[in-house]
Amino acid sequence: MTNHWVDLKNANVLLIMGSNAVENHPIASAHMWKAKDTNNATIIHVDPRFTRTSAKADIYAPIRSGTDIAFLGGMIRWAIEEWYNSGKTKYLNQKYIEDCTNGLFKVHASFETCRDTDHLGLFSGAVSGSNPAYTYNTTTWDYQYDTDTGTTPPIKRPFRATSLDDLTCVFQKLAEHYGVTFIGGTPPYADLSKRYDPDSPYSVASVEKICGTPAALFEQICEAYIGGTYADNKAGTMLYAMGWTQHTVGTQNIRCASILQSLLGNIGVAGSGIDALRGWHNVQGATDHGVLMHLLPGYLAAPPASADYSTLGTGPMDASNTYLKMQIPLAMDPDSPTPPQSAYWWGIFAGQYNRARYMVSLLKAWWPTDKSTLLPLDPQVSYSYLPKRAGDSSYLSLFNEMAKPAKPIKGLFVWGSNPMVMGPDQNLERSAMDNLDWLVVCDCFKTETAEFWNRPGGPGPVSIATEVYLLPGAVFMEKKGSASNSGRLIQWRDKAINPPGDAKDETEILADLGTAIQGLYSSSGLSKDLPIKNLNWPYDTTVLGSDLIEGVAKEENGYALVGFTTPTIAGATATYNAGDQIANFFHLDSTGKTACGNWLFCGTWQKPPAGAGGTGNMMKMRDPVDYHPYQIGIYHKWGYSWPINRRIIYNRAAVYQSTSGTKIMGQPLNPSKPVVWWDGTYYSFQDSGTATGSSTTTLIDTSKTWGTNAWVGKKVYISAGTGSGQERSITANDATTLTVSPAWVTVPGVGCSYTISGAKWNWNYNNVAKNPNTNPNDVIDGFGVNSPTVTLPFIMNREGVARLMGIKALADGPFPEHYEPWETPLTTNPLTNGAGPLSDPVVFSYGKIYASAGDPAYPYVCTTYRLTEHWHGGGFTRNCPTQCQLMPEPFIEISEELAAIKGISNGANVLVTSARGSITLKACVTKRFKPFVIDGVTRHQVGMPWHWGWKGVCSGASANVLTPFIGDVSTRIPETKVFLVNIQLAP
Amino acid sequence: MLGKRMVIDTSKCTACRGCMVACKQWHSLPAVDTEFTGSYTNPPDLTGADLTVIQFTEAEVAGKLRFLFFNNRCRHCEQPTCKAACPLKAIKRQLNGIVRINPDKCDPSLCSTEDVKPCQEACPFKMDGGSLSPIGIPKREYVKDGSPVSTVMRKCDFCYNRFTSLELKSTPFVSTDGKTKSALPACQVTCPPGAIMSGAADTMKRKAKKRVEYLKANGYPNANVYPAGLLTHVLWVLTEAPSVYGIVPA
C-alpha cells in the first residue's frame, strides 16, 4: 500500500475493486468501518459477483471479469469531460496534476495513442512479430527535451507546457487515448454528444457494452468516487488484490488506477492511495526480501546475464555499461536548472549514489571477506559472485521448463507453498512434477505437493522416480520474527510455543542446509566455487550474536564493518564503531564500510537502548498512542514501517507545491487531516545538549565536536534553565562554541538545556524542535530540509513527478488500453469494434491449451476466488476441522438464470469443463451472479473457490485444473481470474 | 429491564464465522461433519456442538439484492418458557437475565420419551429451515467423523462464566476495536467489526434503537430491532423484516 491499514479511517470514499476485501481480510477490513463511523464514508464494491463485501457496501456494481481497464478508463474519460464542462472547477484536482504529475510535460512529436485510426488499439512504434504478436519500438513514448549542455554530462530536461489545454502535453494525450473529444476540436469544451454512443471508446455506453455494468450505476459511481474525492479536503482510496493482478493485463489495471488517483490528488494524502491488499500476513515481507525471481532484497534489481550487467561499476559516469550505471540513470529535472528539482533518490546524496550505498552494502553483507586471506573483498569481486539471471524464472516459465521431455529441471525446493493446488493448468503442472529427480518440500502438513505422485490418476509411489523429502516446518506461533503487512508495517512476533517433535523454524532449516552445502565445498580450490565458499553464512555471529532470528534481523538492518564517520547530513555527522547497528539508510556506505541485508529494513534494529525494552528492536515497539497532532493514525511508535518509519509514502504531495491564490505553498491540502506541512513558524531539530558555559554572545558545550560553522544560519533555543525561552540566530561556531546574534537578554546559565534548529522552513509540527522525542508527524518523503519550492514531490522518479504517461514503459503501452482476456467469449475487441487486437498483443504465449475466442464449446466466463474460511492451497485450513465444518467442499456459483437454462438445482453435482480439463462440483445456485449483457448479447459468468485438493481433513476438486497457463505481460502472474468453461449436470 | 443484554448488529456482521469458532473453543466443542448443500450456512441449524450459527439468506427487497447474515442463538428470554417446561428443573435463569442449562441436571433420556424434548417444544424461536422440522433453540445432536453423537441439551449460555473469570479479568488483552476486554462473551471478543455488544440491558436497548434510526436514514428503511417485543436479553439489529431472514415469527 502507498498508505496503510489504519489510514483507511481517513477516507471519504473507498473503492473496492479487484478485491473481495471483507471476505479475505475480515479483521483488517474493520478499519473501513471506522471510515464509515467518523466520515460517513461511502464504500463502493465493483465485482463480477455480489459477495460478503458487497453486502456491506453502499454501492455495488457488477462487472464482467477482465474488463477493469474499460471501467477505469471510462472513469478517466468521465472525469476529464466533467472537469472541462464545470469550467475547470470540479472533478479533477488541477493544481495537483500541474504540480505533482507529468501532465504538463510535452510529448514526443511522433507519439500516437491507440485512438489513431491507422493503428486502432495499438500505440506508435508497433512492430508485428509472432510470439508476442507485437512488440514496441518505444522511442516515441517519451518527452520532448531540451539538452542542458552546461552540465557534465549534459542533462536532458523535459519541456513543460504552460497549460493542460496544450495539445502536445501528456494530459491531452491521456484525454485523447481515453476518447475525450472537444467541441471545435480543441479544449476547453468537452463534446458530450458521444457519451451514450457504445462505439465511442471509454464512453459511459462503452462501459455498459464491454463490462456489462448498467450505465446509470456506472455514472452513480463516477459521481460518488470522482465527485467525492477530487477536492483538496476529500480523499479516496482504492483497495485491490488478485482481482486486478491475476490477468494478462494485470499490471496495466494497476497503472489505470494510479492514473485516476493522480488526476484526483489521491496519492500522498491521508485516506488516499493505491492500496494493495496482500494475500497473507507476510507476503509483503517475502517480496521485501527479494523472493521474486527478478529481485534482490529491497526491490533492487537482480542482474541479468548480459554484457551491460557483467560488472558492478560505480555509477552513471562509468565509461561503459555496468550494473550501477544501468540502475542509476540521470535525473531529468524539467524546465531549467533552477528549482524545483527532482530529488531523484537513487542518485547523488551526501557525496555517494544512494543506489550504490544499498547495493554495495548488500554485497558486503553476503560476501564481506575472502575467507582464505581474511581480507575484505572488493565489492566488485563480491558482485562477480552474484549469480546472474539467464532467462525468466517466473512461476509459469519454471513449470514450463519442468514439463519439457528433456527434463532440464532436476530438483525443486518448495517452501510453505502448495503449487499442486494453486498453480494454473494443473494437469500440466502435476505431470511436470513427475519429471523431477528430487523434490524437497518444507511444510507443516503433507500437502498435495508433498504427495504429488499420489494424486488421483497419478503414477503412484511405485512407478514415480522422484525422490521426495518432507521437512517438517513450524507454524506461525512456533517461531519468532518479523512480519510485514500490506501497509509496509513490520511487526515483530514472539514465539508462543515450541514446534512439535522434529519440526523446526524454516530459518533454522535453511541455515543448517546452507552450512552443510558450504561444508561440501570447503576443500575446493576452484574459482567457480568461491561464491559458495566465501558466502557469509548464515551471517556474522561474532558481531551480531548467536540468536539466529535476531542475527538475521540485525544483518537486514545493517551494521558497520569498520569504525567510520558519515558525511555531514543536515548539519550533523554520525560516528559508528565496527559492529554498531546502522541507524538509517542515509548512513549506508558505497565504499565497503557497511553491510546491510535489506536497505528498506535499515532502521528496524537500532543500537540499544533504542527500541522496545531497550533491545534495539524497533519492530517490537507497541506504544498504542497516535501522537500525530491531528490523529490521522500514524502510531509511529507501534512497529516500524519502511522506509525509515514513514507511514504514508509520497507524502510531500500532501501539501501545495506552489502558491496559487488562496492555496499557499507548504500548507496541507486537507487542513483537518494533514500528514505533514511546511510552515514558517516551525523548526527542524538539529541537535541539543546542556550548556557548560556562555557569554553575552555565545553558548558553549564542551562535550560537542561540531563542524566549524556547520550551524551558521540555524537557530539556538534555550529550553530549560536560566535564560530559557530565548531564541537566537547562529552567526558562527567552532567545535564547542556557538556565536549568536543578537546578544542574549539573559545570559544562559551553566547547565541550561538548549536546542539547535534548522532553517526557518520545516516539515514538523510546532514544538518538535523543543521536544525532540515526540516527532509526531509522519516522516517527510525525502529531504526534510527542502521546501516544496526546492524539491519536487515524487522523489523516486527521475523527473520528480508522478507519471500519468509511462516513459518507454510498460511493454504493452504507456497508457492502459482495454484488451479482452486470453480466453474470451467475444471474437472481436468491443472497444475498437474489431479494428484492433482482441487480447493484449504483447502477451507471451506458452503454447499450451487455450480455448479459442468465442469458442462455442466453452461459452461461459469463469473466475476463481477465495473464501474467508480457507486460505490459499488449503494446506493449513483444510487440516483444521472447524474450517472444514464451515466450508467442507468446493462449489460452483451459478446464477439462477443459468441454472434454470441448464436444469441445475441447488446442491446438484455439476460437471465443469475447460479446454484443459474437467472437475465435478456441487452447485450453489445464487442471486449473487446475474447474467451480463455484453454488446447486446447475454453472457453468463460462473465462479468457484480454488482452495481444494485431494488431501487434508476436507478434500475436493481443484479449480486450477481448469485455469489457463498464461500470464501478465510484465509480471507473468497467471490469468486465473478469467477463462472459459462449459457446465452441465454431472452424469 | 434489569441485568445484562447482548445486541447483535447484523448490519455490521460480515459472516466471517469467527463467533462460531470462538464459541466452540470456549465451550470445548468439536467441529461437526457437514456437506455443501447449496448454502454457505453450515451446519444448517444449531447442533449439540454449535451454540451459534450464522444463517445466510439471499433476498431481493424493493429491487435491491440483500445478502443477510443472522447470528442465530438463544434469545435469553426475560421469562424463559424452556425453564418452565423442563421437568428436571435443569434450566436456570440468573438474576442478570442469563438463561442456562445445567449440564449436571439435564438428562434428555429422563425428561421425555419424545424425540423433541420439552425445552425445544416450548421454545418459541425457530428458523424456517425448509426441510428441517422447526424445533426450538436447544439442541443435543450432531455427527462427528461419520458417527452420530448425542449429548445433554445445549444452547448459548451468554458465556456466563467469562464475566467472573479472574484469569480473563487480569489479562491485558484488548480486542480489534481497541476497547473490548477479555471478560466478555467469546463471540463478542472475537468479532472483528464489533457487531456484538453487551452491557446493561437498558443501555443496550438504547444503542440498538439508535442504530436502527441511523440505518433507516441511510439506505435501510426496513431496519428494525428484533424481537420487537424487547422481552429478551439478546436483541438483534436487522436491516430487513425478520421474515426476510427466514426467522419464523415467535
Q: What is the pLDDT of residue A769?
A: 44
Q: A870, A883, A886: which to substitute to probe chain B, counting the most B Cβ within 10 Å?
A: A886
B-chain residue closest to A53, CA distance: B14
DSSP conformation letters of A798-860: TTSSB-SS-SS-STT-SS----B-SS-S-SS-TTTTTSS-SB-TTPPP-----PPTT-TTS-E
Q: A626, A885, A920, A947: which to substitute to probe chain B, counting the most B Cβ within 10 Å?
A: A885
A-chain residue closest to B220, CA distance: A58
pLDDT higher than 50, residue A477: yes
Residues A657, A793 contacting (CB under 8 angstroms):
yes
A-chain residue closest to B44, CA distance: A886
Q: What is the pLDDT of residue B134?
A: 65
pLDDT band at A727 (very low <50, low <70, confident <90, very high): confident
Q: B14, B52, B145: which to substitute to probe chain A, counting the most A Cβ within 10 Å?
A: B14
| A442 beta partners | A415, A471
DSSP run (H or E) holding B201: helix B201-217
Q: Are strands B53-61 and A937-939 parallel, antiparallel or unpaired?
A: unpaired
B-chain residue closest to A58, CA distance: B219
Distance from CA of B152 to the nearest CA of A (A): 21
| pLDDT tens digits, one per residue of A822-877 | 999 999 999 999 999 999 999 999 999 999 999 999 999 999 999 999 999 999 99
Q: Spell out which chain B residues touch chain A, with contact meaning CB-CB distance below 8 angstroms.
A: 12, 14-18, 20-21, 24, 30-40, 42-43, 58-60, 65-69, 176-178, 192-194, 219
Contact B18/A26, CB-based, under 8 Å?
yes
Distance from CA of B85 to the nearest CA of A (A): 32
pLDDT higher than 70, residue A797: yes
* Number of A–B residue contacts, CB under 8 Å: 99
Q: Spell out which chain A residues touch chain B, with contact meaning CB-CB distance below 8 angstroms.
A: 22-23, 26-27, 29-30, 33, 50-52, 54-56, 58, 60, 624, 868-869, 881-882, 884-891, 906-907, 922-928
pLDDT band at A146 (very low <50, low <70, confident <90, very high): confident
Q: Which of A687, A839, A806 is nearest to A754 (CA)?
A: A687
A-chain residue closest to B178, CA distance: A624
| pLDDT tens digits, one per residue of A53-81 | 999 999 999 999 999 999 999 999 999 99
* CA angle, A634 then A290 then A537, to 5°: 110
pLDDT band at B146 (very low <50, low <70, confident <90, very high): very high
- Identify all chain B residues contacting A923, using CB atoms and an 8 Å cutoff: 38
Indicate the residue of B15, B60, B65 with minimum beta-carbon distance to A52. Answer: B15
- Identify all chain A residues contacting B31, using CB atoms and an 8 Å cutoff: 881-882, 884-885
3 state DSSP class of A285: helix
pLDDT higher than 50, residue A766: no
Question: From CA B144, how far away is CA A642, in angstroms rounded?
Answer: 48
pLDDT higher than 90, residue A128: yes
C-alpha cell read off for A724: 530559557
Q: What is the pLDDT of residue A18?
A: 98
Average pLDDT over residues A513-522: 96
Q: Which residues contact A547 (CB under 8 A, 6 or more apart)?
A: none
Lowest mean pLDDT among A145-159, A310-324, A516-530, B230-244: A145-159
Average pLDDT over residues A594-606: 97
Q: Please name the amino acid found at residue A41.
A: A
| pLDDT tens digits, one per residue of A634-658 | 999 999 999 999 999 999 999 999 9
Average pLDDT over residues A374-387: 97
Lowest mean pLDDT among A352-356, A531-535, A765-769, B44-48: A765-769
Distance from CA of B219 to the nearest CA of A (A): 8
| A655 beta partners | A668
Q: Give me the helices (H) in A371-524, please.
A: 379-385, 395-403, 419-422, 426-433, 460-463, 506-520
Q: Give me the helices (H) in A199-306, please.
A: 204-211, 215-229, 242-245, 250-263, 283-288
DSSP run (H or E) holding A42: strand A42-46
Torsion of CA B97, B102, B108, B110, to 10 degrees: -110
| pLDDT tens digits, one per residue of A226-241 | 999 999 999 999 999 9
DSSP conformation letters of A338-368: SSSB---TTSEETTEEHHHHHHHHHHHHHS-
A-chain residue closest to B192, CA distance: A27
Lowest mean pLDDT among A252-261, A382-391, A622-631, A759-768: A759-768
C-alpha cell read off for A807: 516513459
Q: Please name the amino acid found at residue A520.
A: L
Question: What are the distances in angstroms from CA A765 to CA A650, A720, A775?
Answer: 18, 20, 8
pLDDT higher than 90, residue A764: no
